[in-house]
């Protein structure tokens, strides 16, 4: 019997879950045993899991789980703990691309004989990721981009306040629609929003949000590789109000915008940088530094122009809609989870374990 142990997330303002109550129902019907750590932060109540037949245990007790249980979560393990890891862990570890601290986390697995089955690297036969949060990242990035623009019109000069997650998508749409309608009556026009990386997961989500708040199709400018192949910088971006960057950066490209361009007359007043490549040497938007947070969502870019320019660069945007983003992610993950019962032969798990062994061999224990 496969035993999954849902770890409670510890990152501040993280309300998403790697397993939803409805996915637990399907897994239990298929003979899985599921243990859930109690959490007051998770968007789904403990009782919802209990009703599906999960066993509830105290917060943060995964270290005491039976050795054959898979510990499943989304974000990082609690910080300030360097103890060896002995279980098989399924989560986004962010340690395979030389990110800061990558050696420390891998070392813990090596020392404890544990295994990392990283969610980011679960791929199907065609090499495509089986589950990702991109759609809701773009959806949330577009929502915040439009709302920051609304704030600039309704309360000029006032900093955009901290943001809390929304209980569901409809509440977010209603809220932004209302703010946009006030802003449009002040400004006298409907904003133009430009999505670059429009054909990808994040791009599709960004476009869909703009449609859901009734931005007319001609005001949603959609660019992907075809439109950027001539090479940046692109003065066209300055003619839009909100620029949502959703590209997957895989090589050196010329910048989309430069700092000098922002001194020119422009309509652009909001950049929602969903891709958040600001620490990458090939960052196509080198006009700001550092990420923003839900507590402090925008950075104001200083220019010689009096027109404002606010940047949103939050690296866990799907948290704005924890319910829908968790449901969509877990539904996509479910077929692979069901294959855990043949873990030794299921390609998706064999490949991701092999990747772990390769990466682990790069560090000294």
State the binding site: 128, 200-201, 224, 228, 248, 274, 314-317
Sites for ligand NAD among residues 131-150 (CB under 6 A): 132-134, 137
Q: In what order do the strands lie in the sheet with 298-300?
A: 220-223, 193-196, 242-245, 270-273, 310-312, 298-300
* Residue among 48, 224, 236, 339 that touches ligand NAD (CB under 6 A): 224
> Near ligand NAD by CB under 6 A, which window of 19-27, 87-95, 194-202, 357-365?
194-202
- Report the alpha-carbon distance of residue 101 to residue 140 in Å, rounded: 28
The smaller minimum CB distance to ligand NAD, of residues 293 and 305, is found at 293
Instruction: Give 225 or 264: the residue with its C-beta nearer to ligand NAD.
Output: 225
Report how far apart, in Å, the C-alpha atoms of 336 and of each of 119, 199, 295, 340, 347 are.
11, 25, 35, 7, 10
Within 276-315, the residues that bind ligand NAD by CB under 6 A are 276, 314-315
- State whether the Cα torsion 153-154-157-161 is positive or negative: negative
Q: Is 75 a catalytic residue?
A: yes
- Mark the segment that binds ligand NAD (CB under 6 A) among 128-136, 162-170, 180-188, 207-215: 128-136
Tokens (6 digits) for 354: 């092999």
| Residue 103 appears among annotated catalytic residues | no
Name which of residues 85 to 114 contact ligand NAD (CB under 6 A): none
Q: Look-up: residue for tokens 């309608």?
A: 181
Q: Does 209 bind ligand NAD (CB under 6 A)?
A: no
202 binds ligand NAD (CB under 6 A): yes
Residue 103 CB: number of other CB atoms within 10 A?
Answer: 14
What is the distance between the alpha carbons of residues 3 and 112, in angstroms, rounded to a whole number? 20
Evaluate whether 130 touches 90 at the Cβ level (below 8 Å).
no
| Residue 21 to residue 48: CA distance in whole angstroms | 6
Closest distance to ligand NAD from the beta carbon of 199 (Å): 4
Output 107 or 204, the one with its CB closest to ligand NAD.
204
Q: Which of residues 313-342 bind ligand NAD (CB under 6 A)?
A: 314-318
* Cβ 41 vs Cβ 15: under 8 Å: yes
Q: Which residues pair with 230 in a beta bridge?
A: none
Give min distance, CB of 248 to ligand NAD, in A.
4
119 lines the binding site for ligand NAD (CB under 6 A): no
> Which is nearer to ligand NAD, 253 or 301 (by Cβ)?
253
Give the span between the Cα atoms of 191 and 214, in whole angstroms. 11
Which residues are CB-neighbours of 47 under 8 A, at least 6 positions away? none
Helix pair 169-187, 201-212: axis angle to 10 deg: 60
Would you say 132 or 148 has its CB closer to ligand NAD?
132
Q: In this chain, which residue has its C-beta nearest to ligand NAD? A: 200
Residue 274 as a binder of ligand NAD (CB under 6 A): the answer is: yes
The catalytic residue among 11, 13, 94, 212 is 94
Q: Which residues are the active-site residues?
A: 75, 94
Contact residues: ligand NAD, CB under 6 A: 132-134, 137, 196-197, 199-203, 223-225, 228, 246-248, 253, 274-276, 314-318
């Amino acid at each position: 019997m496969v035993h999954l142990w849902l770890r409670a997330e510890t990152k501040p303002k993280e309300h998403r879950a790697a397993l939803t109550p409805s996915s637990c129902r399907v897994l239990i019907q298929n003979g899985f045993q599921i243990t859930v750590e109690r959490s007051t932060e998770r968007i789904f109540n403990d009782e919802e899991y209990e009703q599906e037949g999960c066993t509830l245990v105290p917060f943060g007790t995964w270290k005491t789980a039976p050795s054959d249980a898979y510990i499943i979560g989304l974000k990082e393990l609690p910080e300030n703990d360097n103890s060896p890891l002995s279980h098989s862990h399924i989560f986004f570890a962010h340690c395979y691309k030389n990110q800061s601290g990558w050696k420390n986390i891998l070392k813990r697995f090596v020392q404890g004989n544990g295994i990392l089955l990283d969610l980011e690297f679960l791929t199907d036969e065609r090499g495509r990721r089986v589950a990702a949060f991109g759609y809701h990242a773009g959806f949330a990035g577009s929502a915040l981009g439009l709302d920051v623009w609304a704030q600039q019109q309704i309360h000029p000069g006032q900093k955009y306040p901290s943001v809390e997650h929304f209980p569901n998508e409809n509440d977010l749409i209603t809220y932004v629609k209302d703010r946009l309608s006030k802003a449009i009556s002040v400004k006298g026009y409907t904003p133009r929003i430009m999505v670059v990386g429009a054909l990808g997961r994040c791009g599709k989500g960004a476009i869909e949000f703009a449609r859901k708040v009734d931005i007319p199709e001609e005001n949603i400018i959609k660019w992907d590789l075809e439109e950027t192949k001539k090479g940046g910088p692109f003065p066209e971006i300055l003619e839009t109000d909100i620029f949502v960057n959703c590209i997957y950066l895989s090589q050196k490209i010329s910048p989309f915008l430069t700092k000098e361009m922002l001194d020119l007359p422009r309509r652009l007043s909001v950049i929602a940088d969903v891709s958040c490549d600001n620490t990458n040497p090939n960052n196509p938007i080198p006009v700001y530094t550092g990420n923003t947070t839900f507590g402090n969502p925008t950075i104001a870019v200083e220019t010689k122009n009096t027109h404002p320019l606010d940047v949103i660069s939050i690296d866990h945007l799907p948290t704005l809609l924890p319910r829908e983003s968790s449901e969509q992610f877990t539904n996509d993950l479910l077929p692979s989870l069901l294959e855990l019962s043949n873990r030794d032969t299921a390609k998706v798990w064999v490949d991701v374990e092999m990747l772990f062994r390769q990466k682990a061999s790069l560090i000294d224990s």
